[in-house]
Structure 1
Amino acid sequence: APGRQARQAGHVPALLLLVIHGHFCTCQEEAERGTYGGTLTTSCVYCPGWESHKKWLCRGNDWDSCKILVKTTGSEQLVKRGRVSIQDNHSRHTFTMTLENLQWDDEDTYWCGIERTGIDIGYKFSAIVEPVTMQCHYGPEWETYVRSWCQDADLSSCTIVVQTNGSELKKNHVSINQKMHTFSMTIWGE
């Protein structure tokens, strides 16, 4: 692919024209965070003059071999591919990438970049998927009942992932911590 050949291991020196979240012309690596099952959104800001160039998002630690997940057409049209989307805003000189329904294996190194003749320009960032904590409140009349978590909304057919009668239980990357009239569940990575 032409974009791949254009991107070379000329890493990210001071000539870099991309930024993350509004810091103009910086070259430091950033970490973007999202919660498991949620959405991670990040933006790259570019200098004027690059509006009609195609913008892309690729995944992988090495600039030479990262896999392009999604690329704009050079317009402001939203481009979506599976759970990943990208959209350019020419007037704001910003393109925004979104990864929906975050999974633990989405944690990786990503690059946002601009396709151009010669060597593409890009910016490296890490995606971090964080645990999810949910709280359930109940009245005193439910104090002696078993607390459980089920991952399906249909109670008649759901499979219980974890349950407890006590104050805390950890099982299969889920923990339940019970306090007075509240229990919280945390789901974390593998």
Structure 2
Amino acid sequence: MWLLSVLLLPVIQGSPALMAVSDAVSGPVRGSLTVQCRYEPGWETYNKWWCQGAELKSCRILVQTDGSEREARGDRVSIKDNQKLRVFTVTMEELRWNNADTYWCGIERYGPDLGVKVKVTIDPVTEQCHYSPGWETFMKSWCPDADLDTCTIFVETTGSEFKVNILSINKKKHTFFMITLGE
């Protein structure tokens, strides 16, 4: 009986089989972020996954391992398991505003999967643009994409000087800058 109580001790104390190194992470727009999730011995060859959504039972899996240490890739997201260290790493790249959400590190198993919540936020970014003298009265716009032919304009000014909470124009210095704020 004594041996049984010693074997059950970690479960009784509530030691988690899976935990995120941090329960909240952030990264800049167009940048990247990394999340590490640690697991207890015995889960090395199980599939690990990363999903998005407020509830674990209904979240959408974005990327998943195949039980090996091979890196798996999805759309701007990758996952790699280090079974020796018992940690898997998720990397999200080319972050966008709509990436701010609740995510889950998880381990697939028979019955309900193991999962731990991670809150992802996107950091504000300040963009400053310079223009030459003589362009003070022309319309100015800011587009976050590299391809000007297909970009979506986030902010457009009129030719007159004005300030709002996300855009500031300084005609004397011939600059305008935009602070991109989260939702």
TM-score (ref. length: structure 2): 0.71
Among 154, 157, 167, the alignment partner of 1:175 is 167
**Aligned residue type for 1:166:** E
Structure 1 counterpart SS, 2:127: strand
**Shift of residue 86, structure 1, vs aligned partner:** 1.0
Contact 2:77 2:93 in 1 (8 A): yes
Structure 1 residues 104 and 154: alpha-carbon distance in aligned structure 2, compared to 1, 3 A threshold:
closer
Aligned residues: 165
Query: Is there any run of 5+ residues in structure 1 with no aligned partner, and where?
Result: 1-12, 24-29
Task: Check if 1:34 corresponds to 2:27.
Answer: yes
Higher strand share: 1
CA distance in 1, matches of 2:152, 2:116: 43
CA distance in 1, matches of 2:50, 2:104: 6
Among 129, 145, 153, the alignment partner of 2:135 is 145
Task: Check if 1:16 corresponds to 2:16.
Answer: yes
Task: Check if 1:99 corresponds to 2:89.
Answer: no
**Aligned residue type for 1:176:** S
Among 150, 156, 159, the alignment partner of 1:162 is 156
**Shift of residue 73, structure 1, vs aligned partner:** 0.7
TM-score (ref. length: structure 1): 0.69
Query: Is there any run of 5+ residues in structure 2 with no aligned partner, and where?
Result: 1-12
**Aligned residue type for 1:38:** G
**Aligned residue type for 1:123:** V
Structure 2 counterpart SS, 1:168: coil
Task: Check if 1:126 corresponds to 2:84.
Answer: no
Structure 2 counterpart SS, 1:128: strand
**Shift of residue 38, structure 1, vs aligned partner:** 2.1
Task: Check if 1:44 corresponds to 2:37.
Answer: yes
**Shift of residue 14, structure 1, vs aligned partner:** 3.2
Contact 1:70 1:84 in 2 (8 A): yes
Contact 2:161 2:171 in 1 (8 A): no
**Shift of residue 59, structure 1, vs aligned partner:** 1.4
Structure 1 residues 20 and 178: alpha-carbon distance in aligned structure 2, compared to 1, 3 A threshold:
farther
Contact 1:150 1:158 in 2 (8 A): no
CA distance in 2, matches of 1:114, 1:91: 16
Paired residues for 1:101-120 under 5 Å: 101-120=94-113
Specify the structure having the higher radius of gyration (Cα).
Answer: 2
Q: Percent identity?
A: 43
Paired residues for 1:61-72 under 5 Å: 61-72=54-65
**Shift of residue 49, structure 1, vs aligned partner:** 2.9
**Aligned residue type for 1:20:** A
**Aligned residue type for 2:163:** E
